[in-house]
């Protein structure tokens, strides 16, 4: 009976987070590896579910496991950011809605700017800006202090502005 309760609790807490796990895995490890990353994350979560403390938030715990899976798999060699992140970032708002459609930033430019971020900044940007994690949740998931989350988010935003600003100047969208 205890095993059945454990399984039910696991399914109730972990399985609704599968879409979030997939989105984050796709952004950090690439769409082609996201299924494997999520599967390994769920397996590890099941294996260590007894260590999950009652009353604790499940999302940061799962993101910590997912982050470890991505790192252990050597993510740097084969990472790609999924195009689905574009909707959450709102590329058409980066330059402004007043720009004619042909002058708006392209999906590829926004994704390239995200991809160009160093890992420590990209992880924070994806969790906080794209997935809507609170600073505390991102800090817990990444195993860093809240101040570090805020600092990396600030620097990540600056780098995005720089990369997207270069594109905008190159295309004549802003005065350079």
Answer with the one of 79, 100, 120 that is the final residue of a domain.
Answer: 79
For residue 20, give the 3-state DSSP assignment.
helix
User: What's the pLDDT at 111?
Assistant: 76
Q: How far apart are CA 159 and CA 143, in angstroms?
A: 22
- What pLDDT, on a 0 to 100 scale, did the predictor assign at position 107? 65
pTM of the model: 0.64
Q: Say what the pLDDT of residue 105 is.
A: 53
> pLDDT tens digits for the chain (176 residues)?
678 889 999 999 999 999 999 999 988 888 888 999 999 999 999 999 999 988 889 999 999 999 999 888 763 443 333 333 333 443 333 333 333 333 455 667 777 788 788 888 988 998 998 889 999 999 999 999 999 999 999 999 999 888 888 777 777 766 66
Decide: 156 and 122 in contact? Cβ < 8 Å: yes
For residue 146, give every residue at least 6 positions away whose Cβ sits within 8 Å of its Cβ, in sequence order, or none: 135, 136, 139
CB 176 within 8 A of CB 169: yes
Question: What pLDDT, on a 0 to 100 scale, did the predictor assign at position 21?
Answer: 95
19: domain CATH number is 1.10.1740.10
Domain shared by 135 and 93, yes or no:
yes
**Is 103 in the same domain as 170?**
yes
Residues 62 and 92 in one domain: no
CATH code assigned at 115: 1.10.10.10
Domain that holds residue 160: 88-176
Count of domains in the chain?
A: 2
Same domain, 92 and 167: yes
């Amino acid at each position: 009976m205890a095993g059945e309760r454990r399984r039910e609790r696991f399914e109730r807490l972990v399985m609704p987070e599968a879409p979030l796990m997939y989105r984050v895995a796709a952004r950090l490890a690439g769409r082609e590896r996201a299924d494997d990353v999520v599967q390994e994350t769920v397996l590890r979560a099941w294996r260590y579910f007894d260590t999950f403390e009652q009353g604790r938030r499940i999302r940061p715990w799962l993101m910590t496991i997912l982050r470890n899976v991505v790192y252990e798999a050597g993510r740097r060699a084969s990472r790609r950011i999924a195009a689905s992140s574009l909707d959450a970032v709102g590329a058409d708002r980066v330059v402004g809605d007043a720009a004619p459609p042909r002058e708006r930033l392209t999906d590829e430019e926004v994704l390239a700017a995200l991809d160009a971020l160093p890992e420590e900044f990209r992880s924070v940007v994806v969790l906080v800006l794209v997935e809507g994690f609170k600073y505390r949740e991102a800090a817990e998931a990444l195993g860093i202090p809240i101040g570090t989350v805020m600092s990396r988010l600030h620097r990540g935003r600056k780098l995005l502005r720089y990369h997207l600003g270069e594109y905008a100047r190159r295309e004549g969208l802003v005065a350079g």
